[in-house]
Chain A
Amino acid sequence: MSESDPHKQNAQTPAPDDRDAANQEVEIFHRVNRLKLKAGASSLHAGPGFIDPKAINRAETVIKNKESAYTTEVEDILAKLDRAWKEAKSLPADESADAIEAVYHTANHIKDLAAMFGYELMQHFGYSLRDFAGRIDMTNKAHHVIVQAHLDVMWVVFHENIKDHGGPKAEELKKIVAQAIEKYS
């Protein structure tokens, strides 16, 4: 590789070991913007470019079309959440950390999935459960009630295909969970 190879690092860039010696120094690294050239800019000094708006619209459309997969996906993931929770309950409290972590991350996935397709109420409960899963005490039976309340309302939201945050049914379900948290946590 010669000096002009774009992948070759600047000879002046200090090796990590050298940097350790001067650990208290402040250094500034001005890097060549390879990405700009790679993206097709005529030069490093060319102005900002753009991604073809048609491509962005196409991407939006493709994602919107995948909304039909939401129902199947959310059902699968709710079932997975049920399984993780059952496993957590079946284990001694001091051995349930992995199962609790699975509840935490699965709830997080539900939240992300619902948010992506605009299912605000499911997003709300996914967020609420994930938040609570971060502080579950398995020795506290009241915490079991709170998690189960989340699971129950999420299944209701799924079966009744409630999308929006507002509405009397949504408010009622949110109230159930809020009361469970307030009473038992």
Chain B
Amino acid sequence: MIERKIASASIVISPTEKTKTLSVFLGLFFQGASDYPARRKSPLAQSGKYMPGSSTQKEKSAYSLNGFNVLIVEDYPFMASLIATMLREFGVGNIFIAHNGADAREMLVMFNGDPAARDHIDIVLTDWLMPGGDGIALIDWVRAHKKDSVRFVPIVLCSAYASELVVIKGRDHGANEALVKPVSAKKLANRILHVIDHPRPFIKAPDFFGPDRRRKVEPYEGDEKRKTSPEELREHHERI
């Protein structure tokens, strides 16, 4: 119902500045619905060339990253600017750069500290090696944060080390994805898509907090090794 109302309203008034005003109004009215550019039509749909059921239907699901806020944590400014350039080409709306872990922490507190704020950092891309605190230390800080709006933020760890050991270390500290350097546009897009399309539930265990380290569940026929039975698990389902 909300979606239909916003969509129809957009058709009437867009593409003037009034659309924004209306979206804000409807967003407030429908309690946050305007946060989601889901209601924005794809460029093809806007052009009127999109026909449901046609061969161009795939275009319908092309993501719009215009509403995304991405934080790049990279101590080498030239590399940070290259990654930012790629993200800009993907259509990412807001790109922020922190040159060390301390600045990144400050920005995350500033943007995500208030759970009710509407401009949260959506994804953090952090380098592994940085002076004054590496990417792993940043992940540890994020995952240990008291506020849900900080500790659940998706993190992509960039590293030139392609070894299994490094990937496992990133995963065990709570990184959502690992991006092996050198960064290319295809690899970066792939990791961002993974964050969007394949989020895993977060697990809190005595020695771990982060995205479920199992990417898939397969049947196991050996001895039961788990200390916690499925009945003892506490599950929390977030609701909108």
A31-70 interface (Cβ within 8 A of B):
31-42, 46-52, 55-60, 62-63, 66, 69
Is the C-beta of B118 less than 8 angstroms from some C-beta in chain A? Answer: yes
Please state if A39 and B86 are interface contacts (CB–CB under 8 Å): no
Please state if A40 and B64 are interface contacts (CB–CB under 8 Å): yes
Please state if A10 and B63 are interface contacts (CB–CB under 8 Å): no
B67 partner, pick from A38, A66, A73, beta carbons under 8 A: A38
Number of residue pairs across A and B with beta carbons under 8 Å? 231
Comparing B16-24, B103-111, B167-175, B186-194, the segment that makes contact with chain A is: B186-194
Q: Given A12-B237, A23-B206, A112-B160: A37 and B38 within 8 A (CB)?
A: yes
Please state if B196 and A36 are interface contacts (CB–CB under 8 Å): yes
Q: Given A28-B201, A40-B37: A58 and B237 within 8 A (CB)?
A: no
Please state if A26 and B238 are interface contacts (CB–CB under 8 Å): no
B54-98 interface (Cβ within 8 A of A):
58, 60-65, 67-68, 75-76, 78-79, 82, 85-86, 89-91
Q: In the complex, what residues of A have CB within 8 A of residue B40's CB?
A: 40
Nearest first, the 3 closest Cβ-Cβ pairs linking A and B are: A59-B185, A59-B89, A115-B182
Interface residues of B, Cβ cutoff 8 Å to A: 31-33, 35-38, 40, 42, 58, 60-65, 67-68, 75-76, 78-79, 82, 85-86, 89-91, 115-118, 120, 122-123, 129-131, 146, 148-149, 152, 154, 160, 181-186, 188-189, 192-193, 195-199, 201-206, 212, 228, 232-240
Interface residues of A, Cβ cutoff 8 Å to B: 1-10, 12-14, 16, 19, 22-42, 46-52, 55-60, 62-63, 66, 69, 73, 101-102, 105, 108-109, 111-113, 115-116, 127
